């Protein structure tokens, strides 16, 4: 049995928020944001758009690219930190919007690593049970809903979007997914979190006024830990599969900050020319970023059959991982 990626899709909202726009909102400037992060602009969803709206638009594109219908889907997993509601899951809401009435649906919480974790779970479920043949693996975020637009430390970083891959179980021996490694460490919850809005710190008027509904981050610590964790996971999957740095066509890291991406590539001895970056256009879209990049790589014809593509992510939790694909 093998697992193949048979389609990709993505969606980003139309509204573009540039660094120049941010200059009018907080004490920052394009030069600071560009040199520290590599981000030039990001997409922001309007107030009537929920995460499942972003996800379903991306799914419709992915289904078209796979040349199948929504009813052919047995499993929908949405990696997200910005669910539409506490419940039903964003996956169920997406199911209803696209008409995937035969699918089992649930969300997965792993912050910015949500897409890779979802791919890991979907692959395992397809491998384990005959009833699961095709899955929509989705990373979708309306991350702008967690951002304090008065906090220049964080508001410059994030954007909204959704990325999807369709995976299918095949009879063949070959698999698109060659190896994967995931990690978590709950000891560092405070480095990157949204403290309020859950059961630990419900949103009362007082907590709301304190801003506990917004993302908080210790930027420099996150930076260091992100580089170390992604490099560790990438090395593990490269070792396990016997693939060397010079064989990697694309390294697609979670699009957090171009300095993080460069540091990861450099430690893996992968040339910067082989690092796929689109964070200049979309910023950090959390769980959506890898799916967005994979779809862009696919749609622009930047990848050929048989190419090795190394995905790696890091996020709140802490969570991290790497997955090696043969396209
Ligand atoms: N515009 C202008 N100045 C800013 C600013 C902004 N948007 N944000 C912070 N600053 C200021 C700080 O107040 C500080 O000023 P001070 O020296 O007077 O105190 C100075 O710039 C340096 O801040 P610092 O936080 O040390 O900057 P940095 O080089 O660490 O860059 C990040 C900040 C957030 C870009 C960087 O730490 C980072 O990218 N970390 C990883 C974040 C990430 O990717 N998170 C998601 C992971 S999934």
Name the residue with tokens 């995976």. 167
The CB of 262 under 6 Å from ligand 1? The reply is no
Whether 185 is catalytic is no
Q: How confident is the model at residue 171 (pLDDT cuts 50, 70, 90)?
A: confident
User: What is residue 301's predicted lDDT score, i.e. its pLDDT?
Assistant: 94
CA of 44 to the centre of ligand 1 (A): 21
Q: What's the Rg (C-alpha) of the chain?
A: 19
Give the CATH architecture of domain 2-170. 3-Layer(aba) Sandwich (3.40)
Mean predicted confidence (pLDDT) in 55-61: 98
Q: To the nearest whole number, what is the mean pLDDT of the chain?
A: 97
User: What is residue 12's predicted lDDT score, i.e. its pLDDT?
Assistant: 98
User: What is residue 196's predicted lDDT score, i.e. its pLDDT?
Assistant: 96
The CB of 312 under 6 Å from ligand 1? The reply is no
Q: How confident is the model at residue 172 (pLDDT cuts 50, 70, 90)?
A: confident
> Does 177-326 match 2-170 at the fold level?
yes
* Residue 80, SS3 per DSSP: coil
pTM for the full predicted model: 0.96
pLDDT tens readout for residues 311-322 = 999 999 999 999
User: What is residue 99's predicted lDDT score, i.e. its pLDDT?
Assistant: 98
Kindly list the domain boundaries of the chain, sorted by start residue. Answer: 2-170, 177-326
Res 199 pLDDT > 90: yes
pLDDT tens readout for residues 82-138 = 999 999 999 999 999 999 999 999 999 999 999 999 999 999 999 999 999 999 999
Whether 254 is catalytic is yes
Give the CATH architecture of domain 177-326. 3-Layer(aba) Sandwich (3.40)
User: What is residue 17's predicted lDDT score, i.e. its pLDDT?
Assistant: 98
The CB of 220 under 6 Å from ligand 1? The reply is yes
d(CA 140, CA 161) in angstroms, rounded, equals: 6
Q: Are 230 and 236 in contact (CB under 8 A)?
A: no
Nearest residue (by CA) to ligand 1, atom 25, is 219
Name the residue with tokens 């879209």. 285
Whether 284 is catalytic is yes
d(CA 237, CA 53) in angstroms, rounded, equals: 34
User: What is residue 207's predicted lDDT score, i.e. its pLDDT?
Assistant: 94
Q: How confident is the model at residue 224 (pLDDT cuts 50, 70, 90)?
A: very high
CA of 322 to the centre of ligand 1 (A): 26
Backbone torsions φ then ψ of 153, nearest 5 degrees: -65, -30
Res 173 pLDDT > 80: no
Choice among 19, 254, 257, 274 that is catalytic: 254
* Residue 14, SS3 per DSSP: coil
User: What percent of the chain is modeled with pLDDT above 70?
Assistant: 100
User: What is residue 45's predicted lDDT score, i.e. its pLDDT?
Assistant: 98
Mean predicted confidence (pLDDT) in 172-189: 92
Nearest residue (by CA) to ligand 1, atom 28, is 220
Q: Which of 170-174, 192-196, 230-234 has the lowest mean pLDDT?
A: 170-174
Q: Where are the beta strands (DSSP E) in the chain?
A: 2-11, 16-18, 41-43, 75-79, 104-108, 134-142, 160-170, 177-184, 192-193, 216-217, 248-253, 308-315, 319-326
């Amino acid at each position: 049995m093998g697992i193949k990626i048979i389609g990709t899709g993505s969606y980003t909202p139309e509204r573009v928020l540039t660094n120049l726009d941010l200059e009018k909102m907080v004490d920052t400037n394009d030069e600071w944001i560009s040199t520290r992060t590599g981000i030039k602009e990001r997409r922001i969803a309007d107030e009537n758009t929920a995460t499942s709206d972003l996800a379903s638009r991306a799914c419709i594109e992915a289904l078209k690219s796979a040349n199948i219908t929504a009813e052919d889907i047995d499993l929908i997993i949405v990696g997200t930190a910005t669910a539409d509601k506490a419940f039903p899951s964003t996956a169920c809401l997406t199911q209803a919007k696209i008409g995937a009435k035969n699918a089992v649906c649930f969300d997965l919480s792993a912050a910015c690593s949500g897409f890779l974790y979802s791919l890991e779970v979907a692959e395992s479920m397809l491998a384990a049970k005959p009833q699961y043949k095709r899955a929509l693996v989705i990373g979708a975020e309306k991350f702008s809903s967690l951002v304090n637009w008065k906090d220049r430390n964080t508001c410059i970083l994030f954007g909204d979007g959704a990325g999807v891959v369709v995976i299918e179980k095949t009879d063949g021996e070959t698999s698109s997914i060659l190896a994967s490694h995931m990690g978590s460490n709950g000891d560092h919850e405070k480095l990157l979190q949204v403290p309020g809005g859950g059961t630990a710190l419900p949103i009362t008027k007082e907590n709301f006024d304190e801003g506990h509904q917004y993302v908080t981050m210790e930027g420099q610590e996150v930076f260091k830990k992100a580089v170390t964790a992604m490099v560790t996971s990438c090395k593990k999957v490269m070792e396990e599969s016997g693939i060397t740095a010079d064989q990697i066509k694309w390294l697609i890291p979670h699009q957090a900050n171009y300095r993080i991406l460069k540091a990861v590539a450099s430690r893996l001895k992968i040339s910067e020319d082989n690092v796929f970056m689109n964070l200049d256009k979309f910023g950090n879209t959390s769980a959506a970023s890898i799916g967005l990049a994979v779809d862009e790589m696919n749609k622009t014809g930047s990848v050929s059959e048989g190419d090795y593509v190394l995905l790696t992510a890091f996020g709140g939790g802490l969570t991290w991982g790497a997955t090696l694909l043969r396209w």
